[in-house]
Structure 1
Amino acid sequence: MTDPIALALRVAAILDEHDVSYALGGSLASSMFGEPRGTIDIDMAIRLEQRQLADLVNTLEVEFYVPVEAARQAVEQSTSFNLIDDDGLKVDLFVLGDTTLDQHQLEHRQRILVTEDPPQYLWVSAPASQVLRKLEWYQAGGSVSERQWRDVVGILRAQRSTLDLANLKHTAQAIGLGELLDTALRNAEDNS
């Protein structure tokens, strides 16, 4: 089976080749900054424009199954599409729009060393962006996903001393997640 980091590096190399900005997200990214957990797929937020789509899909199709119509719709509607490798591992590509959170995710991403020999890097959603995105997913899912909540609390607990809490609270308030963030911060403090 393909190693998720190796697969993320393969996709990232293709995105870089086509000047498509990206940030690794989801459980793989939150495991880097919070509580580690297993994952069966990879989430990447991307800034993809219509003019880039055909060339990118042509390159991706060499190594992956790509639902072309879903990719086209994702670019038009700022939704997602996926890639599937030969082992059946899935990469979800979330095409970003112009929301505050979408902009935050790319503006604050961090370049992380993921292998040392040879040195290889991935752009990863910053802890604050991950907290906000996961709170958004948690809220959209009816505030019932224990996994999303555990990821949020784990990141807040592990990164509390490095997070700009004032900025995080301000952004959360601006996008309607202020109360959820306050609850998560209290929960992270209680479980320290």
Structure 2
Amino acid sequence: MLAQHIQVALERQEHWYLQPIDLATVARSVLQACERIQVPCCLGGSIASSLRGMQQMAQDIDLLAELDEQTLPAFLAPLEHDFLFEKSSIRKAVRQRTSFSLLHLDSLARVDNIVPRCTAFDASLSRLVTSYELDERYPPFPLLRPVK
């Protein structure tokens, strides 16, 4: 099913060819979608660990974002051109406070979006978010720092 969606999306792109993955650019576009609607978000997972000194092979981009059903349309709107996703699956994930994926069409990089469950633990994560300057071309990235 996903393969069919990818094939249809790529057929719509007039001059598509696989681009090298620039994780910073892909991550920045999704972070900007959150920032535009003032939704708290941060990078986590293997990218956050690697930037903090625990080198890991990044297979995808993990993003924690406090999305809800009201903010979801405004979050997805600027991503529709560059990412492949199923709105109905995303709405369900946001309602159930789970996760969903976006697939960047130029690089085929996957962005896994984790929607916090609003537990006390999840609420405490906001205190662990710090800014990290990865590249002077971009503003600092919100990054989940390790628990000591």
Normalised by the length of structure 1, the TM-score is 0.63
Pick 1 or 2: higher relative contact order, CA cutoff 8 A, min separation 6. Answer: 2
1:68 paired to 2:92: no
Match runs of 1:65-144 below 5 Å: 65-86=84-105, 87-116=107-136, 118-128=137-147
Partner residue in 2 for 1:49: 68
- Structure 2 spans left out of the alignment, 5+ residues: 1-19
Match runs of 1:7-18 below 5 Å: 7-18=26-37
Structure 1's consecutive aligned runs of 4 or more residues displaced over 6 angstroms after TM superposition are: none
The structural deviation recorded for 1:59 is 1.8
Q: What SS is found at the alignment partner of 1:44?
A: strand
8 A contact 2:128–2:146 mirrored in 1: no
If you compute each CA radius of gyration, which structure gives the higher value, 1 or 2?
1
Paired amino acid for 1:15: C
What is the aligned-residue RMSD (CA, Å)? Answer: 1.4
Normalised by the length of structure 2, the TM-score is 0.80
Output the CA distance in 2 between the equivalents of 1:111 and 1:35: 18
Residues 93-123 of structure 1: per-residue CA shift (max 9 Å, x gap): 001121122112223211111112x352110
The number of residue pairs the alignment matches comes to 128
Identity of aligned residues (%): 27
Q: What SS is found at the alignment partner of 1:11?
A: helix
Q: Which has the higher helix share?
A: 1
The structural deviation recorded for 1:36 is 1.0
The structural deviation recorded for 1:6 is 2.0
